[in-house]
Structure 1
Amino acid sequence: MARTATSGSLVLSPVSSAADLVDGIVDRIVDGALVDGDRLPSTRVLAEQTGLSRGTVVRAFDELAAAGFVDSRHGSGTLVSAGATQAARAGARTRKHDDAVPAPVVEQRRGRSSRDLRPGVPDADLVDRRAWRSAVRSAVTAGLAGLNPWEEPSPILRAALSEHLRRHRGIAAADPLLFDSSRSAVAALCAVFDARVFHVEDPGYRGAVLMAREHGLELRCHPVDPDGLDAARLGDESAIVFTTPAHQYPLGHRASVDRRVALVEWARRTGSLVIEDDYDGEFRYGVAPLPALVTLPGAADHVAYVGTSSKSMSPDLRVAWCLPPAALRRDVQRWLAVHRRGPSSLPADALGEFIGSGAMDRHLARAARVYSDRRSRLVAALARECPDVAVTGVEAGLHLCVLLPDHDDDAVVDDLAEAGWRTRSLSSQSSRFPVSGLVLNYARLGGRDAREFAAVLREVLSAGA
């Protein structure tokens, strides 16, 4: 039975905003006054205790839930999530925000259709346009810096990212190198690290596979394990390992703590490099944030952390970042200067202003709620229309997978296309261990789209049975 936190066990410093309340609750998790599974007081009780409005307390709870520190369950109240203590003590923090209500977003869909469920693209219409225009104006008003963007990339963005990564992913004192894409970051690491073998999960991210092949590395594929990449499979040779532990692409599994620790220990023992691609780690639904792999003891010398704005904001920004081990940093910088694969200064500066103003935190909190709702609608529709179909990857990110072991997934994709739905086959993401299924992006899924898609999928699967 969950223990209910009393006003005595939840002693908070004076609070005047939702941000203060969020920080106070996370601090109580860190010091042990709140532990995993504890039930928080109701929003009404906390409003009376703190003197805040009930709406402000609700916003604070939304913020904590979006970051994975608490889990609100109908009929059970709001509980501290399993794993929240570990994440908070590792330095993860929820998003910085204020009590200002962001300007309403005018729903005007552009770009991809809501019937295009191929993975990789978020809903850019969720970005607060007024806040983004303000960030762009600030970047433009500052004028041209006169810096070489490949040798001295956006100080504004690097400073903002450093604080963002500390709060969101528990990475202290981050000094990111900026790239035009995560694929370029992987290419740089493949080029500068002395290894001949490249380990990757299969199915997995095709961009990493292409970069490994482009640099003449020997590709070694490993079947996907629900607990994450198993270091015991990797042998004793120094190598590069590419992994997506927060939300395995594409099947969506989250690597267990034991597997994460074992992978770091293997890298230390063999002198290997692990590339941690945290491509959509901003979004989690009902699960606690696990610390980034690079924050584990001994990981900093062997793990290169890669992130991108492509899923949190939009791919057309063309901004990504990398935290290479210190021993590789100068070589990666030299590769960037030679190949000129950094982002353009204006969008980088604008993104830095957007993050630094707190607008990114508000955006992520709102987007997480919207994506969680769209995900839930798709999962419910699939369960209703296709009850025998297994679904994976629903705890995080912007996509899920539907497993179709008894079907030709490429044929299913073609049949869905004829019905007006664009999807991606799961087998197309494999090099050696194909799995039949669909990779479905729900980021732009409209209100009725989930029901309609699930009904069409049921018809397609029935026709092909």
Structure 2
Amino acid sequence: MAETPVLPVTLDRESPEPLAVQLAEQLRAAAGDGRLRSGDRLPSTRALAGELGVSRTVTAAAYEQLHAEGWIAGRHGSGTYVTTSPPGMLRADRKPARRDTGRDDVVDLTPGSPWAEGIEQAAWRRAWRAASHVTPMVRPQRAGLPEYRAAVAEHLLRHRGLRIGDSEVLLATSGTSSAVAELGRAVLRPGDMVAVEEPGYQRAVGALRTAGLRVVPATVDADGLLVEAIPANVRAVYCSPAHQYPLGGRMSAARRVALVERAREQGWLVVEDDYDGELRYDVAPLPLLAGLAPDVVVHLGTTSKILTPTLGIGWLVAPPSVVAAVLAHRDATGIGPAPAGQLVVVELARGGDLGRHLRRLRRELSERRTLVVETLVRGGVRVLGDDAGAHVVVPVASAEDERELVRSGLERGLLLDGLARHHVGRARWFGVALGYAACSRDQLKRSLPVLVELAGPGAG
């Protein structure tokens, strides 16, 4: 029988964060960094409650959350065991990948990947050739190359309606998660509380925690973040108002105004992740938070969703004080965005190839979304999410239903991403976030009838 390890848990009874959430968070972290390993046997909920001096309700809720996320599993008549991957592969930061399945016939229907096959190869090669002719740099450009920052400023004006004024500064970044980590280390202090959408982007959660910050969940619904539910004592709020990740809703205009007004009143910094804001197919997008309140909003964008993660770059638009802190942190640590990807974007923009690609991208993903929604709805499958981005949500009733859908999908050759893992606290939303950009259109057409069979009214 496996030995029960000593659990590295310390609960803070003065914290506004529920004890069950603290317990789940600490066990999750221990499993991710190797203090708990796959196969370790956990104490029973009753024994752990006695050890920690809490009610069994607390330990049961924490175990239920970890079980829903796949960190632990029960064995009949034996107990509860850790099922996490080896150290170095933090599940909260890990997106399901084809290599995890050990199969070559799996269609990747997980969200977060771009339509990379749509990049025009001649334009791609032309941009890299032009970028290679640039004279090697002698000193790093911590803020990013001036020509890249100018190209992004033009992109934001044309495609997001954001004009960079005198009260804002644009920096190059190494991508959204990297930018969140920089803000956490350069602008915030260890121990500060940051509210993050629940469910929300777990790589941002990981970046904030790595910076020593405390993450608290902030509830969302069909209209985005519930502003009144944000704890008053947070230092910052992270959100994705244009296309909430992973549920796919859009924050209403009234809530945007309420959020920036409350941020000004209570001294919050609002981090606006506009990860796929260029991809809207029905109506014009609502004003960006950065356009409404440039004094309290940090706007983040990335090339990973509109082009490819190969470039490894993004951007940050923020008040001068925030930018000064980020640049000071970069100078002190020697980090900064690599110039190669910036040069490629400059060349794509200079020749008009970036604009042409965005037009093709919107047309292709709009058609794919129509195909997905019409096929699923016709088959009796409920679909959530605005007419935007590169994924929709197929909800199910329970964590058990979600696990079964993901499991049966993999058996039928579909790689699906469950919603439970996108929570910081106890999971409230179940289903799958269904991406339609990474696969080919032919793969998508062949996969949808299978998904209808697995998730439709006759399933099970």
TM-score (norm 2): 0.72
Cα distance in 2 for partners of 1:144, 1:339 equals 22
**What percent identity do the matched residue pairs reach?**
37
Match of 2:49 in 1: none
Paired AA for residue 240 in structure 1? A
Match of 1:167 in 2: 158
Match 2:315 to one of 321, 329, 353? 321
Match 2:233 to one of 215, 234, 237? 237
Match 2:281 to one of 275, 285, 297? 285
In the TM superposition, what whole-angstrom CA distance separates every residue of 1:370-389 from its partner, at most 9, and x where no partner exists?
1111111111111122x1x3
Cα distance in 2 for partners of 1:153, 1:147 equals 12
Tell me if 1:181 matches 2:180.
Answer: no
In the TM superposition, what whole-angstrom CA distance separates every residue of 1:369-409 from its partner, at most 9, and x where no partner exists?
01111111111111122x1x321124111111100115521
Cα distance in 1 for partners of 2:280, 2:329 equals 34
What aligned pairs does 1:48-127 form with structure 2 within 5 A after superposition?
115-127=107-119
Cα distance in 2 for partners of 1:312, 1:224 equals 25
Match of 1:312 in 2: 306
How far off is 1:114 after superposition? 8.3
What aligned pairs does 1:132-147 form with structure 2 within 5 A after superposition?
132-147=124-139
How far off is 1:218 after superposition? 2.2
Tell me if 1:158 matches 2:154.
Answer: no
Match of 2:407 in 1: 414
Cα distance in 2 for partners of 1:461, 1:441 equals 16
Listed as ranges, the gaps of 5+ residues in structure 1 are 1-111
8 Å contact from structure 1 (residues 251, 392) kept in 2: yes
Paired AA for residue 458 in structure 1? V
Cα distance in 1 for partners of 2:153, 2:405 equals 44
Give the alignment's Cα RMSD to 1 decimal.
2.1
Q: Would you identify which runs of 4 or more consecutive aligned residues in structure 1 move more than 6 Å? A: none
How far off is 1:316 after superposition? 1.5
Match of 2:260 in 1: 264
Compared with structure 1, are the counterparts of its residues 252 and 339 closer, same or farther at alpha carbon in structure 2 (3 Å cutoff)?
farther
Cα distance in 2 for partners of 1:444, 1:382 equals 19
8 Å contact from structure 1 (residues 204, 429) kept in 2: yes
What SS does the corresponding residue of 1:130 show, helix, strand or coil? Answer: helix
Listed as ranges, the gaps of 5+ residues in structure 2 are 1-103
What aligned pairs does 1:353-392 form with structure 2 within 5 A after superposition?
353-385=347-379, 387=380, 389-392=381-384
How far off is 1:134 after superposition? 1.9
Cα distance in 2 for partners of 1:184, 1:113 equals 33
Match 1:204 to one of 172, 195, 200? 200
In the TM superposition, what whole-angstrom CA distance separates every residue of 1:277-301 from its partner, at most 9, and x where no partner exists?
00001101112122211001xx111
Cα distance in 1 for partners of 2:247, 2:127 equals 35
Cα distance in 1 for partners of 2:306, 2:425 equals 30
8 Å contact from structure 1 (residues 114, 446) kept in 2: no
Cα distance in 1 for partners of 2:344, 2:174 equals 15
How far off is 1:448 after superposition? 4.2
How far off is 1:147 after superposition? 3.1
Cα distance in 2 for partners of 1:264, 1:398 equals 27
What SS does the corresponding residue of 2:108 show, helix, strand or coil? Answer: coil
Compared with structure 1, are the counterparts of its residues 254 and 152 closer, same or farther at alpha carbon in structure 2 (3 Å cutoff)?
closer
Moved more, 235-244 or 167-176: 167-176
Match of 2:345 in 1: 351
What SS does the corresponding residue of 2:221 show, helix, strand or coil? Answer: coil
8 Å contact from structure 2 (residues 174, 312) kept in 1: yes
Between Structure 1 and Structure 2, how many residues are aligned?
Answer: 349
Cα distance in 1 for partners of 2:335, 2:392 equals 31
How far off is 1:224 after superposition? 1.6
How far off is 1:449 after superposition? 3.4
What SS does the corresponding residue of 2:152 show, helix, strand or coil? Answer: helix
How far off is 1:165 after superposition? 1.1
What SS does the corresponding residue of 2:244 show, helix, strand or coil? Answer: coil
What SS does the corresponding residue of 1:245 show, helix, strand or coil? Answer: coil
Paired AA for residue 150 in structure 2? A
Cα distance in 1 for partners of 2:228, 2:139 equals 46
Moved more, 113-122 or 201-210: 113-122
Cα distance in 2 for partners of 1:405, 1:316 equals 37
What SS does the corresponding residue of 2:298 show, helix, strand or coil? Answer: strand
In the TM superposition, what whole-angstrom CA distance separates every residue of 1:322-350 from its partner, at most 9, and x where no partner exists?
11221111110122234444332122111
Match of 2:396 in 1: 404
Paired AA for residue 380 in structure 1? E
In the TM superposition, what whole-angstrom CA distance separates every residue of 1:31-56 from its partner, at most 9, and x where no partner exists?
xxxxxxxxxxxxxxxxxxxxxxxxxx
Match of 1:130 in 2: 122
What SS does the corresponding residue of 1:396 show, helix, strand or coil? Answer: coil
Cα distance in 1 for partners of 2:374, 2:132 equals 45
Match of 2:271 in 1: 275
8 Å contact from structure 1 (residues 285, 395) kept in 2: yes
Match of 1:249 in 2: 245
How far off is 1:446 after superposition? 3.6
